[in-house]
Amino acid sequence: MHYYYDLHLHSCLSPCGSDEMTPANLAAMCALAGLEIVALTDHNTCGNCASFCRAAQAHGLTALAGMELCTQEEIHVVCLFPDPQRAEDFSREIARHLPPIANDPDYFGRQLRMDDGDGILGEESAFLAGSTDIPLYEVPRLVAAWGGAAFPAHIDRPAFSLLGVLGLWDPDLGFSAAELSYRCPPELARRPDLAGLQLLTNSDAHSLDQIWGAEHTLDLPEPTPQAVIRRLACQPGTLSG
Ligand SMILES: [Zn+2]
Ligand SMILES: [Zn+2]
């Protein structure tokens, strides 16, 4: 079965995420847009994932808890987990690898932790959008240790991307999927070094108006977080459909 997905969304816990991107608003907008499988992936934190998953499930959506991790090399990687508990455990581990910088809400924006009913639980004081000291090559193993799967984000963009930083796709890194931004020129997807990879396109929405209508589908045996993770964790060359 093919399911409409968006596996890269930010909430108001990302400093660059709009305050209107509460877990409740985000879930409602995803449902209105006709999406079926959605993931919350704030910068270097899973702090709003439990609230988002509850809100999204109330709309009948399949919801994954995730994070957009920034590596030592300033490469963004989307990490997805089978449940909010494991995502929060992973998030606590990542917090130890963030630079000791406080957020400046006036400059970077607020970082709000919210419940699933638009109540504010608190404001994160550590600056979340910096780079961790985790090297890119460690990410697949680290995420798999928490039962998750990971794919490099917006690889066609010049900044904060695998191709922008490394210049080429290295299959030895162990990623089986990669994300192309919606602005990606079609010829880039046909690069020989990307052959055999599962290429995803997500909105990377930071505000409600950036959430797309249902456009891209994922072929899965069942609409569950586990099925998404199993598919993205496949080795290159074994994917079909
Ligand atoms: Zn990014
Ligand atoms: Zn993002």
Ligand nearest to the CA of 9: 2
Using alpha carbons, select from 175, 182, 225 the residue that is nearest to residue 40: 225
Ligand nearest to the CA of 40: 2
Cβ contacts of residue 8 below 8 Å, gap of 6+? Answer: 39, 41, 66, 68, 78, 153, 179, 202, 203, 204, 205
pTM reported for the whole predicted model? 0.95
| pLDDT 10s digits, 15-38 | 999 999 999 999 999 999 999 999
Question: 223 C-alpha vs ligand 1 centroid, how far in Å?
Answer: 25
Ligand nearest to the CA of 154: 1
Counting DSSP H helices and E strands in the chain, the numbers are: 7, 10
Ligand nearest to the CA of 75: 1
Question: 67 C-alpha vs ligand 2 centroid, how far in Å?
Answer: 9
Using alpha carbons, select from 114, 112, 116, 128 the residue that is nearest to residue 45: 128
Residue 238: what pLDDT? 43
Q: What is the arithmetic mean of pLDDT over 195-223?
A: 95
Superfamily of domain 2-232: Metal-dependent hydrolases (3.20.20.140)
Residue boundaries of the structural domains of the chain: 2-232
Question: 75 C-alpha vs ligand 1 centroid, how far in Å?
Answer: 8
Ligand nearest to the CA of 17: 2
- Dig out the tokens for 159 from the structure: 């900044």
Ligand nearest to the CA of 159: 1
List residues bridging with 12 in a β-sheet.
none
Question: 227 C-alpha vs ligand 2 centroid, how far in Å?
Answer: 22
Question: 196 C-alpha vs ligand 1 centroid, how far in Å?
Answer: 23
Cβ contacts of residue 204 below 8 Å, gap of 6+? Answer: 8, 9, 10, 153, 154, 181, 210
pLDDT level of residue 234 (50, 70, 90 thresholds)? low
Q: Residue 16 and residue 10: Cα distance in Å, rounded?
A: 9
Q: Residue 90 and residue 84: Cα distance in Å, rounded?
A: 10
Question: 117 C-alpha vs ligand 2 centroid, how far in Å?
Answer: 23
Question: 191 C-alpha vs ligand 1 centroid, how far in Å?
Answer: 21
78 burial level (CB within 10 Å; 0-12, 13-18, 19+): buried
Share of the chain above pLDDT 90, in %: 92
3-state helix, strand, coil in the chain (%, to 5): 30, 20, 50
Helix-helix angle 23-32:49-58, to 10 degrees = 40
Q: Which residue has the tokens 């991107």?
A: 21
Question: 59 C-alpha vs ligand 2 centroid, how far in Å?
Answer: 23
| pLDDT 10s digits, 106-165 | 998 999 999 999 999 999 999 999 999 999 999 999 999 999 999 999 999 999 999 999
